[in-house]
């Protein structure tokens, strides 16, 4: 709650019960302190104890305006010895400087508010005071984040094949990258020496590059003229090789590399705001339901295309055979290693969700239960979880996105899918048991 104040005032407060004792307070002036308290007339039939008490407000059981709020800094000095309790569901009488004050809760006889409870106190109303004193929660968005969102909305389009096409959000206009091709070529020669030592490494690396080419995720281009080389960016790349793994090669594109005394691609781009939910929030929601499943996107970044005008900043060097010369290629999709790629990927998912509002369960999964390229579904009803899974697959297929590596604690979720093992099921069951 936010309110504005007109001015302040110094008050000397006394009591009609004791005219000799007064105290000073500083107060602020507002148009309205709070609504009338209580909200409805309450019955006094269950409070015979108050008949012989000197009350600070004889009409405490009738709705009335609140003229003054006293805070916790004043309360200790107005309380006196004495308290009368009339049962758990009845008010409590407190002895104060102003007389006996009735606080607590009581039943309301009004037919409109029947069976509800009302809390009343005509002298001490602290809840509204806390609300007035509370600092309003203001969500600030930096100009950089606002620009990234706006630029995405203005430039993101759909290809004829239904794939999303995004543009790189540059912070530097017409950046001078220098001769990054020479820099990338030197890095490749270092990589080539590793190829000579391990033919399996080169074979696995080539297979990934061949897949990029066959899927249309990159294409060959001609080498730019030397006078134009600073208008392009060549990304050096290397790989993490682990022969025993199911994915022995993971290619790393280093967009933070730069030519001597020049700017790198990552330095020239905005990173974009963080759009992911907090992981702990996702896990708590995941573990609070009876039935669950997990899955992840298949090559998520590669399913999102980059504006053709920006692809010249995603060039690489590669020979498909030791006998062939090193050739130039442009990557046509979002690249892992470019600083804005996580923002572009998650923002594309949110755009997909906004463009297709007919699948509410899938929409909730995308917004609240996805982290990077992982999705976590959960619900207490199996039928709802099955519908959630079907809606998710349908929604993602509209943008050419696929999910894989399904795991669940109920086999019915994976009917029609293969590559499911009991080990995965046991893992999810164990996970839920451990957390609870």
Q: What does the pLDDT look like over 50-73, one tens digit per residue?
A: 777 777 777 777 777 877 777 777
The pLDDT assigned to 139 comes to 54
Phi, psi of 375 (to 5 degrees): -125, 135
**More confidently predicted of 79 and 158:** 158
Q: Is a pLDDT exceeding 50 seen at residue 375?
A: yes
How far CA 222 is from CA of 148, 214, 338, in Å, comes to 32, 19, 23
Q: Is residue 138 part of a domain?
A: no
Q: Which residue has the tokens 């009488």?
A: 93
Burial track 231-260 (b if 16+ CB lie within 10 A, e otherwise)? ebbbbbbbbebeeeeeebbebebbbebbbe
Q: Tell me the pTM.
A: 0.63
Mean pLDDT, range 223-229, rounded to an integer: 91
Q: Is residue 294 part of a domain?
A: yes
For residues 6-15, give the mean pLDDT: 71
Q: What are phi and psi of 274, to 5 degrees?
A: -75, 125
Q: What is the mean pLDDT of the chain?
A: 80
- 327 with 202, same domain: the answer is yes
Q: Select from 73, 101, 133 the last residue of a domain.
A: 133
Residues 94 and 210 in one domain: no
Top-confidence residue, 46 or 27: 27
Q: Is the pLDDT of residue 430 over 50?
A: no
200 and 93, same structural domain? no
Does the structure show a pLDDT above 60 at 22? yes
* Spatial separation of the C-alpha atoms in residues 118 and 103, rounded to whole Å: 10
| Residue range(s) defining the domain that contains residue 72 | 7-133
Query: Residue 296 pLDDT more than 50?
Result: yes
Do 42 and 159 sit in the same domain of this protein?
Answer: no
In a domain? residue 140: no
- Regarding whether 249 and 350 lie in a shared domain, the answer is yes
74 pLDDT band, cuts 50/70/90, is confident
What's the average model confidence in pLDDT over 291-300? 89
Q: With contact defined as beta carbons under 8 Å apart, do 398 and 162 qualify?
A: yes
Residues 252, 324: one domain?
Answer: yes
User: How many other C-beta atoms lie within 10 A of the C-beta of residue 370?
Assistant: 22
Residue 150 lies in a domain: no
Residues 337 and 269 in one domain: yes
Tell me the mean pLDDT in the region 111-140.
48
Are residues 359 and 222 located together in one domain of the fold?
yes
Is residue 51 one of the residues assigned to a domain? yes
Same domain, 388 and 312: yes
Question: What integer is the mean pLDDT of 91-95?
Answer: 80
Same structural domain, 93 and 168: no
Residue 232 DSSP class: S
Among 98, 133, 168, identify where a domain stops.
133
Q: What is the pLDDT of residues 348-367, one digit of tens each?
A: 999 988 888 788 888 888 88
139 belongs to a structural domain: no
The 315-318 sheet, strands edge to edge: 218-221, 327-331, 315-318
CA dihedral (193, 194, 199, 205) positive or negative: negative
First to last CA, the chain: 36
Tokens of 308: 């053709």
What is the band of 427 on the pLDDT scale with cuts at 50, 70, 90? very low
pLDDT at 83 over 70: yes
Distance from CA of residue 103 to its chain's centroid? Answer: 41
Same domain for 281 and 423?
A: yes
Q: Looking at the 3D structure of the chain, how many domains does it have?
A: 2
User: For residue 416, what pLDDT is reported?
Assistant: 65
Within a domain: residue 2? no
**Residue 273 falls within a domain, yes or no?**
yes
Residue 49 sits in the same domain as residue 116: yes
> What is the band of 424 on the pLDDT scale with cuts at 50, 70, 90?
very low
Domain final position from 133, 163, 182: 133
């Amino acid at each position: 709650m936010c309110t504005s104040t007109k001015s302040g005032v110094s008050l000397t407060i006394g009591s009609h019960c004791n005219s000799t004792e007064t105290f000073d307070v500083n107060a602020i002036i507002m148009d309205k302190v709070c609504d009338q308290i209580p909200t409805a007339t309450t019955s006094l039939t269950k409070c015979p104890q108050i008949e012989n008490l000197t009350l600070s407000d004889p009409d405490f059981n009738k709705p009335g305006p609140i003229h003054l709020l006293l805070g916790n800094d004043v309360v200790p000095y107005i309380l006196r010895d004495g308290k009368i309790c009339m049962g758990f569901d009845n008010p409590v009488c407190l002895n104060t400087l102003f007389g006996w004050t009735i606080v607590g809760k009581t039943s309301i006889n009004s037919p409109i508010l029947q069976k509800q409870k009302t809390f009343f106190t005509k002298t001490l109303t602290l809840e509204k005071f806390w609300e007035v004193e509370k600092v309003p929660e203001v969500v600030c968005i930096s100009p950089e984040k606002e620009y990234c969102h706006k630029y995405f909305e203005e430039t993101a389009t759909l290809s004829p094949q239904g794939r999303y096409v995004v543009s790189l959000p540059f912070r530097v206009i017409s950046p001078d990258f220098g001769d990054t091709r020479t820099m990338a070529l030197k890095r490749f020669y270092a990589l080539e020496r590793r190829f000579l030592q391990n033919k399996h490494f080169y074979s696995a690396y080539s297979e990934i590059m061949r897949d990029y080419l066959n899927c249309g995720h990159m294409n060959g281009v001609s080498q730019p003229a030397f006078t134009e080389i600073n208008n392009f960016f060549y990304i050096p790349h290397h790989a993490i090789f682990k022969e025993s793994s199911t994915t022995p090669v993971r290619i790393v594109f280093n967009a933070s590399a730069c030519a001597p005394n020049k700017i790198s691609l990552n330095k020239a781009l905005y990173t974009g705001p963080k759009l992911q939910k907090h992981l702990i929030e996702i896990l708590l929601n995941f573990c609070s339901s009876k039935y669950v499943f997990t899955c992840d996107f298949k090559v998520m970044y590669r399913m999102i295309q980059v504006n053709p005008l920006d692809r010249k900043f995603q060039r690489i060097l590669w020979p498909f055979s030791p006998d062939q010369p090193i050739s130039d290629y442009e990557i046509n999709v979002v690249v892992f290693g470019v600083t804005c790629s996580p923002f572009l990927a998650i923002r594309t998912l949110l755009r997909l969700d906004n463009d297709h509002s007919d699948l509410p369960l899938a929409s909730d999964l995308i917004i609240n239960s996805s982290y990077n390229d992982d999705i976590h579904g959960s619900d207490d009803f199996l039928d709802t979880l099955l519908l959630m899974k079907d809606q998710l697959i349908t929604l993602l297929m509209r943008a050419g996105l696929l999910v894989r590596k399904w795991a669940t604690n109920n086999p019915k979720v994976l009917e029609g899918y293969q590559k499911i093992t009991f080990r995965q099921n046991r893992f999810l069951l164990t996970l839920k048991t451990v957390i609870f």
